[in-house]
């Protein structure tokens, strides 16, 4: 059996020759072409939205958080994670791109382990090279200043600079 694979950018076509049942005395060979598209994810924690189950919750009529977001503890988490991952690292663009993704996942996991109810978390990590240049990073958020907050930490070594930010938005 010969299998032929045709590859185009993100589309792969596979040609499987399949023998069908004999009709009269001659055998008929029919070919099936299978088309599949492949999408690549960088992180295993990213899931398909269709696979998530939706759960309908009853209203609690709770308008504010019972426990506020612990900014000081999150600052310590940011400091520990950035220091542990980047202390001895030299700036390499591809490595730093992957490290930014990994660090943001680690930070998000550790902050979620604090089990602060009803807060949605956004974690952003920037890693850049230290070579006589500057960087301005700005963020704008639409939120309630009474319940929503953020935490950030800047790390520097001889080769790179990193900024990690955690935005905590209260979800009613």
Q: Which residues pair with 160 in a beta bridge?
A: 129
Q: Are 15 and 3 in contact (CB under 8 A)?
A: yes
pLDDT at 46: 56
Q: Please name the residues in contact with 153: beta carbons below 8 A apart, sequence gap of 6 or more.
A: 75, 78, 79, 82, 163, 164
Q: What are 10's two structure tokens?
A: 């993100």
pLDDT at 10: 46
Distance CA 123, CA 102 (A): 11
Is 3.40.50.1100 the CATH number for 63-170? no
pLDDT along the chain (172 residues), means of 10: 48 47 44 47 56 76 85 97 96 95 97 93 95 86 91 95 95 82
Distance CA 131, CA 1 (A): 58
pLDDT at 112: 96
Domain boundaries, the chain: 4-37, 63-170
- Could you count the other beta carbons within 10 Å of the beta carbon of residue 154? 14
Q: Give me the half-sphere count of Cα atoms (radius 13 Å) on the Cβ side of residue 114.
A: 22
């Amino acid at each position: 059996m010969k299998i032929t694979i045709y590859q185009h950018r993100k589309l792969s076509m596979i040609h499987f020759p399949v023998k069908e049942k004999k009709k009269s005395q001659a055998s008929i060979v029919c070919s099936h072409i299978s088309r599949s598209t492949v999408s690549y994810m960088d992180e295993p924690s990213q899931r398909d939205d269709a696979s998530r189950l939706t759960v309908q919750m009853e209203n609690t009529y709770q308008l504010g958080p019972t426990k506020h977001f612990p900014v000081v503890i999150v600052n310590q988490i940011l400091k520990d994670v950035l220091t542990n991952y980047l202390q001895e690292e030299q700036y390499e663009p591809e490595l730093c791109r992957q490290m930014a993704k990994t660090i943001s996942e680690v930070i998000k996991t550790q902050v979620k382990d604090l089990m602060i109810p009803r807060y949605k978390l956004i974690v952003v990590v920037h890693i850049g090279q230290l070579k006589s240049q500057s960087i301005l990073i700005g963020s704008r958020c639409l939120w309630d200043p009474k319940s929503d907050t953020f935490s950030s930490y800047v790390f520097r070594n001889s080769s790179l600079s990193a900024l990690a930010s955690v935005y905590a938005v209260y979800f009613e």
